[in-house]
Copies of this chain bind each other. A is one copy, B any other.
Amino acid sequence: MNSIQLIPLAGMPEIVRASDIAALICSAVAEANEQLAHHDVVVVTQKIVSKAEGAMAQVDPDDPLSHKPLVEQESVRILRRRGELIISETRHGFVCANAGIDLSNVARGEAALLPVDPDRSARRIRDGIKGLTGVEVAVIISDTFGRPWRRGVTDVAIGAAGIFPVLDLRGTQDSYGRELQVTEVAIVDEIAGAAELVMGKASGIPVAIVRGVDESAFDLGSTRVGVAENLIRSPQEDLFR
């Protein structure tokens, strides 16, 4: 195994509706005297994707609960309620707090919704970077989710392109020559969480480059493999829904 580098990308400007994220990433990389490389993974936070795609809603800036109707609107199923907290399933199938709607790092009076199709968002950014630089990267759209049983939040992948969300190790042997019990590793979630370590919640760095991920993880040819079909557990196979 080789080392992996987690590189925060400084210099991204404020993102507004119709901002070209791929182009802005390429400019910021050039300004940082960096270069994107084949098999880099570019991790982009959901917030700037939602802003660029206009997946925003107006809320009353003086009413801390005014986004609650939006939460119900963006949910297909409510799993739990406690006080003001709603854990629900979004249209995409994600189970998270407040349907992924959040009010941090957006202008006063606005709320960011999840992108309509985060896998498509990832493909667009990936294709944009490829068109501008010729470099084949993978792209992950990350968001911050809580978890049951464990305190604190971690960043996970809500969209991906050019990388297999779940690394299937079926048939692989352990160091004793026996077949592995654990066969599916959610590497895009591990990469999204790793990238958070160099982005931070307060530092306003919305993009990180993850360099050195094992080449077997990449799916640069077809890019048809997304988070939606591969990482979301179906309600039928889920034990906690």
- Number of this chain's copies in the assembly equals 2
In the bound assembly, the distance between CA atoms of A205 and B155 in angstroms comes to: 25
- Let me know if B1 and A105 touch, CB within 8 A: no
A52 close to B (CB within 8 Å): no
Asked if B180 and A149 sit within 8 Å, CB to CB, the answer is: no
A194 to B3, CA, bound (A): 11
**Contact in complex: B198, A3 (CB < 8 Å):** yes
A76 on the B face (CB < 8 A): no
Expressed in whole angstroms, the Cα–Cα distance for A103 and B176 within the complex equals 11
Which of B152, B176, B204 meets A105, CB within 8 Å? B176
Q: Is A20 an interface residue (CB 8 A)?
A: no
- What distance in Å separates the Cβ of A196 from its nearest Cβ neighbour in chain B? 6
Closest to A173 in B: B202
Please pick, from B148, B156, B174, the residue contacting A104 in the complex, using a CB distance under 8 A. Answer: B174
Residue with the highest number of chain B CB atoms closer than 10 Å, among A2, A144, A147: A147
B108 touches A178 (CB 8 A): yes
Q: Given A1-B205, A150-B233, A239 and B80 touching (CB < 8 A)? A: yes
Among A4-12, A23-31, A129-137, the one that faces the other chain is A4-12
Is A72 interfacial (CB-CB < 8 Å)? no
Question: Is the Cβ of B175 less than 8 Å from the Cβ of A105?
Answer: yes
Q: Hey, which chain B residues are within 8 Å of A166, CB to CB? A: 151-152
Complex CA gap A239/B144 in Å reads 18
Besides A151-B231, A152-B166, 15 other A-B contacts (C-beta < 8 A): A104-B181, A107-B176, A148-B240, A150-B189, A150-B232, A151-B166, A152-B165, A154-B185, A154-B186, A155-B190, A174-B201, A187-B197, A190-B196, A193-B193, A197-B214
A3 with B1, Cβ < 8 A, contacts A152-B186, A233-B149 known: no
State A1–B195 Cα separation when bound (angstroms): 11
Does residue A213 face the partner (Cβ distance < 8 Å to B)? Answer: yes
Most buried by B among A174, A184, A241: A174
